[in-house]
Amino acid sequence: MKKTCFTISLILISLGFSQAQKSDAQTFQEIYSQALSEQQGFKWLTELCGLGPRFAGSEQATESVLYFKEVLDSLGFETKLQEVKVPRWVRGPQERAWMLEGETAREMSVTALGGSIATPEGGLRGKIVEINSFEQLDSLNLEGKIAFFNIKMDPTYISTGYAYGSAVKQRWAGAMEAGKRGAIGVVIRSLSSSINKYPHTGSMAYAPEIERIPAAALSTYDAELLSKTLRKNPDVQVKLDMACEWQDSVYSYNLMADFKGTERPNEIIVVSGHIDSWELGTGAHDDGAGAMHAFECLYLLKSMGFQPKRTIRLVWYMNEEFGLNGARVYAKAAKSTEEERHVIAIESDGGGFTPKGLSIDANQDMVDLLKGYRNLFEPYGIYQFSKGGSGADVGQLKAEDIVLIGLRPDSHRYFEVHHSALDNINAVNAREFTMGSATLAALIWIMDRDNICVNCDS
């Protein structure tokens, strides 16, 4: 008979048996104490960033996977590589932009958007048209001009993730919308929550029926300056010179490592992050932090002598940034086998900042159940247990009988570094990062102990 396995947990949590609560609190303290004392995950994150950027399809991406497979092997985990075909786009040897006023040329900080075509040889030059909302497009003449999308991340949103979501359309759809109206190129305001001179990249898209035009992102500092200059002189032009190109797709890998369960080894708890990164920085927050949260979580549980009932599986997905190829390959394989059943899938892809809570993609009964653990997490600053999205990668596993969870760190500073050269190990605080690893280890320990899952065998 199938049923939702909540009974034991609900009794312990809702009645609050003092001895059970004391024991759980002590275990949590041990997990957090060991993590914060060793900070082993931060050491591995430093090693990872030292290997260089990990853009999908690059040699560094594959070499990073192979390097840490050996590390995981040395710790006694059962590892496996899963082949993934990924697109190969190369930024090129130069990307430059200038603001032109008469004979005066001022160079601006710029970067190509991921997937953009190159400019013509010698660069692209045109008059600029500023766009502050997509509603403006139909009233503007873009024929033969360069579209300048200057849509700010709304600072009034408390969640910078919402602010990002409200502004990101200019990045992925800007070239399509401008191209269909005759524009010869597009530059966008970087999706950053602060004013700085570092441009932020990210993926963009073209439509088959619309002529492709070069697309780039200006730093927020230069976007502000260009906008101010345009108000004084509408005849300002921009010159853009980029040599990016598409190459043939290549093969890389997802990395998996199992900590085998003792009672239900065929039931899988995934803890995961994506290993690829953009190549302007070294992907310390996006998503080296998430990948190492998952690794350190596994390491903590094993090194402290815990014996999981179900198999805990680390998954490092390849190519989240440019199409979710790795997650799709993993999910297809997981859904096609009858030998395993995924019951919980957890993702960390919000950076290595101080964790604040969990976002739970499950029915309300499950959300309410997990909220019952909040008193154990609150001493560590973890208090937000909410129904919502989990993550782009684990979202590929979505089904009625699997609980999806996303770690939610403090987001205020994340988009200052996201997809830019600032995303390097110097932007990560070791203690803040380690709190994320410990939180995932404590969560998995208690969910596994209490057999939390949907429609499990009684």
433 neighbors 290 (Cβ within 8 angstroms):
no
Token digits of residue 388: 């919502």
Architecture of domain 2-88+248-457: 3-Layer(aba) Sandwich (3.40)
Compute the C-alpha angle 103/107/111, nearest 5°: 140
Residue found under tokens 């060793």:
38
- Above pLDDT 70, what percent of the chain? 95
pLDDT at 219: 98
How far apart are the C-alpha atoms of 81 and 182, rounded to whole Å? Answer: 46
- pTM of the predicted model as reported, rounded to 2 decimal places: 0.93
CA–CA separation, 253 and 354 (whole Å): 30
The mean predicted confidence, pLDDT, of the chain is: 94
- Mark residue 162 as left, alpha or beta (left: phi above 0; alpha: psi -120 to 50; beta: remaining): alpha
By DSSP bridging, strand 215-218 and strand 185-189 are parallel
Read off the pLDDT of residues 372-428 as tens digits, 9 standing for 90 and up.
Answer: 999 999 999 999 999 999 999 999 999 999 999 999 999 999 999 999 999 999 999
On whether the CB atoms of residues 422 and 198 are closer than 8 A, the answer is yes
204, 115 contact by CB (below 8 A) = yes
Per-residue pLDDT reduced to its tens digit, 293-341? 999 999 999 999 999 999 999 999 999 999 999 999 999 999 999 999 9
The one-letter amino acid code at 432 reads E
- 317: β partners: 274
Q: Give the three-state DSSP class for 412.
A: coil
Q: Domain locations in the chain?
A: 2-88+248-457, 92-243
Which residues, in sequence order, are CB contacts of 314 under 8 Å at separation 6+?
Answer: 72, 77, 255, 256, 257, 258, 259, 271, 272, 294, 295, 297, 298
Topology given in CATH for the domain delimited by 92-243: Glucose Oxidase; domain 1 (3.50.30)
Q: 228, 224, 247, 244: which is closest to 236 by C-alpha?
A: 228
CB 137 within 8 A of CB 250: no
286 pLDDT above the threshold of 50: yes
Is residue 5 over pLDDT 70?
no
* Helix locations, 206-358, DSSP H: 220-232, 290-303, 325-336
Residue (of 41, 76, 48, 75) closest to 63 by Cα position: 48
